[in-house]
Amino acid sequence: MDAPLLSVKDVSIAYKVGALDIVAVSNARFDVPQGSIVGLVGESGCGKTTMARALTRVIADNARIAAGQMQFAGQDIVSLSEKDMNSLRWRDIAFIPQSAMNSLDPVYRVEYQIVEVLRDRGGMSKSTARKRAVELFEMVGIDPGRLRDFPHQFSGGMRQRAAIALALALEPKLVVADEPVTALDVIIQRQILDQLRSLQRELGLSVIMVTHDISVVAYICDRTVVMYAGKVVEDCDTATLLNEPLHPYAMGLKNAFPDLHSAGTGILTPIAGSPPDLANPPHGCRFAARCPFATDQCRVEEPALTEDAPGHFVACHRAAEAVALREEAKQPGTWGTAA
């Protein structure tokens, strides 16, 4: 197998808040194979955005990459000089922020903003940059006649497409998209996912897709990394995650999701409780307080992320019993009452 395009190794990222250190990502480890789409899923606050932003090193002022390496095409993003990092951004790694609104400046026409990136980062002449902007709009399915519009004249879906166009401007190798379809209706959502995938195939891109929606992952991602309270808890190909998850959190997520293709509407089962306070994480497994399968061992000893089968990583003491636990997890009674 080829070397992965990106290899995240034991990365920890902390926010300083007063005297406290909030470790939003702790010992994260995962690979992004060349030319694949990798999902990064988990509930709000689990550290997805923090992890994703760290890949471009555009992080909050109070944030710090405290440990680990991020090997990208032979170099370590963590130890690159600011100057080298700057030439990597846009050209090799492009980031689409959580709210596409924020990636476009409301006071400038969309064309100007794309042309600026192309000239400034790509060293293109003005006329070449203009031609490229037209190409980019055609590529993401917006009428190039709309290039002269201001961002507020675009619908939510168009703004998201424009943000994708901007990210693709300099033909990066890796695109990191933070919740690119979360606020959009099902039709636009589907159109954007289809667009992203066909571009990914045409251009041989790799994509990291941050989302809390497992149907998005099911639709588009080759592999999926599940995060919980700052930790990677499972990492495998998407089909395996959906059909034969090893981690109880992944088992629980499936029951919580309405499925239009199921025979009846059944009953959805939430995962009761909420994630732990990252300023003061519990000993042992971070999911233990909500896990229906927690044992005494789970509450004292933290499970390590291990390779259970080739390419399938999981952090759970009871992974070996997964077949039986999956059966139990299907019973609504297993998950207690709503929280």
b or e along 17-53 (b: 16 or more beta carbons within 10 Å of the residue's beta carbon)? eeeeebbbbbbbbbbbbbbbbbbbbbeeebbbbbbbb
Please tell me whether residue 49 binds Mg ion under the rule CB under 5 A.
yes
Choose one: 43-51, 57-65, 67-75, 110-118; the region binding Mg ion (CB under 5 A): 43-51
- Say how far apart CA 179 and CA 97 lie, in whole Å: 8
Angle between helix 110-120 and 126-139 (nearest 10): 120
Using CB under 6 A as the binding rule, the residues of this chain from 266 to 305 that contact ligand ADP are 278
* Beta strand pairing call for 37-41 and 223-228: parallel
Q: Which residues bind other proteins (CB under 8 A)?
A: 43-44, 155-157, 183-191, 194, 212-216, 218-219, 238-239, 242-243, 252-261, 265, 267-272, 274, 337-339
Alpha-carbon Rg for the chain, nearest whole angstrom, is 21
Q: Which is nearer to ligand SF4, 68 or 248 (CB)?
A: 248
Q: Which is nearer to ligand SF4, 122 or 336 (CB)?
A: 336
Residue carrying structure tokens 């959190």? 249
Please tell me whether residue 223 binds ligand SF4 under the rule CB under 6 A.
no
Using CB under 5 A as the binding rule, the residues of this chain from 247 to 276 that contact Mg ion are none
Q: Which is nearer to other proteins, 80 or 218 (CB)?
A: 218
First vs last C-alpha separation in the chain: 44
Which pair of tokens denotes residue 252? 């629980």
SS3 state of residue 25: strand
Q: What mask, x for binding ligand SF4 by CB under 6 A, covers residues 226 to 265?
A: ---------------------xx-----------------
Please tell me whether residue 288 binds ligand SF4 under the rule CB under 6 A.
yes
* Beta strand pairing call for 63-72 and 37-41: unpaired
Q: What mask, x for binding ligand ADP by CB under 6 A, covers residues 34 to 53?
A: --------x-xxxxxxx---
Which of 180, 152, 183, 186 is CA-nearest to residue 166? 180
Residue 60 contact partner, candidates ligand ADP, other proteins, Mg ion, none, CB within 5 to 8 A by sort of partner: ligand ADP
Choose one: 10-18, 98-106, 159-167, 283-291; the region binding ligand SF4 (CB under 6 A): 283-291
Instruction: Give 78-114 as a DSSP string.
Output: GGS-HHHHHHHBTTTEEEE-SSHHHHS-TTS-HHHHH
Nearest approach in angstroms of CB 42 to ligand SF4 is: 14
Q: Which is nearer to ligand ADP, 45 or 282 (CB)?
A: 45
Choose one: 33-41, 80-88, 89-97, 313-321; the region binding ligand SF4 (CB under 6 A): 313-321
* Beta strand pairing call for 93-96 and 37-41: unpaired
Q: Which residues bind to ligand ADP, rule: CB under 6 A?
A: 15, 17, 22, 24, 42, 44-50, 60, 62, 278
Residues lying near ligand SF4 in the complex (CB under 6 A) are found at 247-248, 285, 287-288, 291, 293-294, 298, 303, 316-318
